[in-house]
Amino acid sequence: MPAFGFLVTLEPQPGKEEAVAAFLRDAKTLVDAEPGTLQWYAFRLDDGSFGIFDTFDSEDDRTTHLHGEVRKALEARGPEMLATEPKIRPVTLIATKP
Rounded to two decimals, what is the model's pTM? 0.94
What domains can be seen in the chain, in order of their start residue? 4-92 (3.30.70.100)
Among 30, 41, 97, 42, which Cα is nearest to 68's?
Answer: 30
pLDDT tens digit at each of 98 positions of the chain: 899 999 999 999 999 999 999 999 999 999 999 999 999 999 999 989 999 999 999 999 999 999 999 999 999 999 999 999 999 999 999 999 87
Q: What are the start-end ranges of the H helices in 44-86? A: 59-66, 69-81
Residue 80: which of 14, 31, 33 has the closest Cα?
A: 14
Q: What is Dmax (Cα atoms) for the chain?
A: 39
d(CA 55, CA 23): 20
Determine contact, residues 14/45, Cβ cutoff 8 Å: no
